[in-house]
Amino acid sequence: MPRLLTVAVVALALMLAAQLHAQTALRDIPDSPPWMPEPPKPPKIPIQPPIREPPIRPPIRVPVVELMGYIYAQEVGPIPLDWRRPGRYPGPVEYYFASVDGQFYRLELGGAQFYLCGHFTSYVGTGRLVVVKGYLRPDFVWPLIDYGVLLATEVRDPAYPYCR
């Protein structure tokens, strides 16, 4: 039995020495090899709140009006004289519309379609009746004056297309 005890003590001593050697060997091994580069880090994107856009509003419905009346013109600028040719040349002109029910409007003709039996100037200031279709809005240029602005989309002769 003493021999068995000696073999057990020697085996235990060898096991302890092997474990101690293994622990010191593991301490010398680095966590990652020095030749391996570190993986790239993903870029940090700052978190921003979402951009709030104003709500989309439906367009404002403006009523279309159709008025009968007469067109008048008024010169609003100086009349330039041409010294090379005698005579006057008309300056800038504003057009006005007087409806048959007595209302008076400043007439804006930009983009209007004309359905007339003659030239436009034959209707201005002559007392010939026309029908103007368009939109009414207040006058922002001269707000203290009582009349509004008539934005014309169509100017036509009541007799069109049966002109004489």
Confidence of residue 126 (pLDDT cuts 50, 70, 90): confident
Q: pTM for this structure?
A: 0.56
pLDDT of 80 strictly over 60: no
Average pLDDT, the chain: 81
What are the extents of the domains in the chain? 1-30, 64-156
Q: Please name the residues in contact with 112: beta carbons below 8 A apart, sequence gap of 6 or more.
A: 134, 152, 153, 154, 155
